A = this chain, B = another copy of it.
Amino acid sequence: MERSVTAERASAEELAKTLRDAITRLNRRVRQARPVGDLTFSQLSALTSLQLAGALTPRELADVERVQPPTMTKIVGKLEEHGLVARTPHPTDRRQVILAATEAGRTTYAQFERARNEWLAGQLAQLSREERDSLARAAEILQRVARG
Protein backbone atom coordinates (compact mmCIF):
# COMPACT_ATOMS: atom_id res chain seq x y z
CA MET A 1 0.00 0.00 0.00
CA GLU A 2 2.08 2.90 -1.24
CA ARG A 3 -0.55 5.42 -2.24
CA SER A 4 -1.36 8.08 0.29
CA VAL A 5 -4.68 8.19 2.04
CA THR A 6 -5.49 11.51 0.43
CA ALA A 7 -4.78 10.13 -3.02
CA GLU A 8 -7.10 7.26 -2.29
CA ARG A 9 -9.70 9.68 -1.13
CA ALA A 10 -9.34 11.73 -4.30
CA SER A 11 -9.69 8.79 -6.63
CA ALA A 12 -12.60 7.55 -4.58
CA GLU A 13 -14.36 10.87 -5.03
CA GLU A 14 -13.81 10.84 -8.74
CA LEU A 15 -15.08 7.31 -8.95
CA ALA A 16 -18.06 8.13 -6.77
CA LYS A 17 -19.07 10.82 -9.21
CA THR A 18 -19.00 8.66 -12.32
CA LEU A 19 -20.55 5.76 -10.52
CA ARG A 20 -23.40 7.77 -9.10
CA ASP A 21 -24.09 9.31 -12.46
CA ALA A 22 -24.26 5.90 -14.08
CA ILE A 23 -26.40 4.49 -11.29
CA THR A 24 -28.83 7.37 -11.31
CA ARG A 25 -29.35 7.17 -15.03
CA LEU A 26 -29.66 3.42 -15.04
CA ASN A 27 -32.14 3.54 -12.24
CA ARG A 28 -34.31 5.97 -14.14
CA ARG A 29 -34.23 3.80 -17.21
CA VAL A 30 -35.12 0.68 -15.31
CA ARG A 31 -37.93 2.43 -13.45
CA GLN A 32 -39.29 3.68 -16.72
CA ALA A 33 -39.66 0.10 -17.85
CA ARG A 34 -42.29 -0.57 -15.23
CA PRO A 35 -45.26 -2.19 -16.92
CA VAL A 36 -48.66 -0.58 -16.59
CA GLY A 37 -49.92 -3.05 -13.99
CA ASP A 38 -51.55 -2.05 -10.73
CA LEU A 39 -48.35 -2.05 -8.74
CA THR A 40 -46.29 1.04 -8.11
CA PHE A 41 -42.59 0.89 -7.62
CA SER A 42 -42.68 1.27 -3.85
CA GLN A 43 -45.29 -1.42 -3.55
CA LEU A 44 -43.27 -3.77 -5.67
CA SER A 45 -40.16 -3.01 -3.65
CA ALA A 46 -41.93 -3.77 -0.39
CA LEU A 47 -43.36 -6.96 -1.84
CA THR A 48 -39.87 -7.96 -2.93
CA SER A 49 -38.40 -7.42 0.52
CA LEU A 50 -41.22 -9.37 2.07
CA GLN A 51 -40.71 -12.14 -0.42
CA LEU A 52 -37.02 -12.38 0.27
CA ALA A 53 -37.36 -12.25 4.03
CA GLY A 54 -40.27 -14.67 4.16
CA ALA A 55 -42.21 -12.71 6.76
CA LEU A 56 -41.66 -9.43 8.59
CA THR A 57 -43.43 -7.09 10.96
CA PRO A 58 -44.39 -3.67 9.58
CA ARG A 59 -41.64 -2.08 11.59
CA GLU A 60 -39.02 -4.45 10.21
CA LEU A 61 -40.27 -3.95 6.69
CA ALA A 62 -40.17 -0.18 7.14
CA ASP A 63 -36.58 -0.46 8.30
CA VAL A 64 -35.60 -2.64 5.37
CA GLU A 65 -37.24 -0.22 2.95
CA ARG A 66 -35.78 2.71 4.83
CA VAL A 67 -39.10 4.34 5.30
CA GLN A 68 -41.05 5.54 8.33
CA PRO A 69 -43.68 3.20 9.81
CA PRO A 70 -46.72 5.27 8.76
CA THR A 71 -45.50 5.21 5.17
CA MET A 72 -45.24 1.46 5.30
CA THR A 73 -48.73 1.22 6.73
CA LYS A 74 -50.02 2.85 3.56
CA ILE A 75 -48.00 0.73 1.20
CA VAL A 76 -48.93 -2.50 2.93
CA GLY A 77 -52.56 -1.34 2.87
CA LYS A 78 -52.46 -1.13 -0.91
CA LEU A 79 -50.80 -4.49 -1.23
CA GLU A 80 -53.42 -5.98 1.03
CA GLU A 81 -56.21 -4.45 -1.08
CA HIS A 82 -54.73 -6.22 -4.05
CA GLY A 83 -54.63 -9.45 -2.09
CA LEU A 84 -50.86 -9.75 -2.43
CA VAL A 85 -49.97 -9.55 1.23
CA ALA A 86 -51.70 -10.94 4.30
CA ARG A 87 -51.52 -9.93 7.95
CA THR A 88 -51.48 -12.52 10.68
CA PRO A 89 -51.29 -11.83 14.40
CA HIS A 90 -47.98 -12.23 16.16
CA PRO A 91 -47.97 -15.45 18.22
CA THR A 92 -46.83 -13.90 21.48
CA ASP A 93 -46.91 -10.12 21.18
CA ARG A 94 -50.37 -8.85 20.39
CA ARG A 95 -49.12 -5.41 19.43
CA GLN A 96 -47.29 -6.80 16.47
CA VAL A 97 -48.44 -8.12 13.14
CA ILE A 98 -46.79 -10.55 10.78
CA LEU A 99 -46.78 -9.66 7.11
CA ALA A 100 -46.25 -12.24 4.38
CA ALA A 101 -46.83 -12.47 0.66
CA THR A 102 -49.84 -14.50 -0.39
CA GLU A 103 -49.73 -17.02 -3.20
CA ALA A 104 -51.03 -14.32 -5.55
CA GLY A 105 -48.33 -12.01 -4.22
CA ARG A 106 -45.65 -14.52 -5.05
CA THR A 107 -46.76 -15.03 -8.64
CA THR A 108 -47.31 -11.32 -9.20
CA TYR A 109 -43.88 -10.65 -7.84
CA ALA A 110 -42.31 -13.11 -10.25
CA GLN A 111 -44.05 -11.54 -13.23
CA PHE A 112 -43.04 -8.02 -12.37
CA GLU A 113 -39.54 -9.06 -11.53
CA ARG A 114 -39.18 -10.47 -15.01
CA ALA A 115 -40.60 -7.43 -16.74
CA ARG A 116 -38.46 -5.17 -14.65
CA ASN A 117 -35.29 -6.90 -15.71
CA GLU A 118 -36.18 -7.20 -19.34
CA TRP A 119 -34.85 -3.94 -20.61
CA LEU A 120 -31.61 -4.19 -18.67
CA ALA A 121 -31.04 -7.82 -19.62
CA GLY A 122 -31.52 -6.89 -23.27
CA GLN A 123 -28.92 -4.20 -22.98
CA LEU A 124 -26.47 -6.46 -21.22
CA ALA A 125 -26.89 -9.20 -23.79
CA GLN A 126 -25.45 -6.85 -26.36
CA LEU A 127 -22.21 -6.41 -24.48
CA SER A 128 -19.12 -8.53 -25.00
CA ARG A 129 -18.44 -11.36 -22.63
CA GLU A 130 -15.52 -9.50 -21.13
CA GLU A 131 -17.72 -6.53 -20.40
CA ARG A 132 -20.31 -8.68 -18.73
CA ASP A 133 -17.58 -10.27 -16.62
CA SER A 134 -16.42 -6.85 -15.51
CA LEU A 135 -19.96 -5.93 -14.56
CA ALA A 136 -20.46 -9.17 -12.69
CA ARG A 137 -17.38 -8.50 -10.60
CA ALA A 138 -18.48 -4.93 -9.98
CA ALA A 139 -22.02 -5.96 -9.05
CA GLU A 140 -20.67 -8.08 -6.21
CA ILE A 141 -18.61 -5.25 -4.86
CA LEU A 142 -21.49 -2.83 -5.17
CA GLN A 143 -23.82 -5.10 -3.29
CA ARG A 144 -21.33 -5.27 -0.48
CA VAL A 145 -21.02 -1.50 -0.45
CA ALA A 146 -24.79 -1.03 -0.50
CA ARG A 147 -25.27 -3.26 2.49
CA GLY A 148 -22.32 -1.94 4.46
Q: Which A residues have a C-beta under 8 Å from some C-beta of B? A: 3, 8-9, 11-13, 15-30, 32, 45, 66, 113, 116-117, 120-125, 127, 129, 131-132, 134-143, 145-148
A13 near B66: Cβ-Cβ < 8 Å: no
B-side contacts of A134, CB under 8 Å: 134, 137-138, 141
This chain: copies in complex: 2
Bound CA span A145–B145, Å: 21
Q: Which residue of B lies closest to A9 (CB)?
A: B125
Bound CA span A147–B24, Å: 11
Q: Pick the contact of A135: B13, B15, B122, B136 (CB < 8 A).
A: B15
A23 near B20: Cβ-Cβ < 8 Å: no
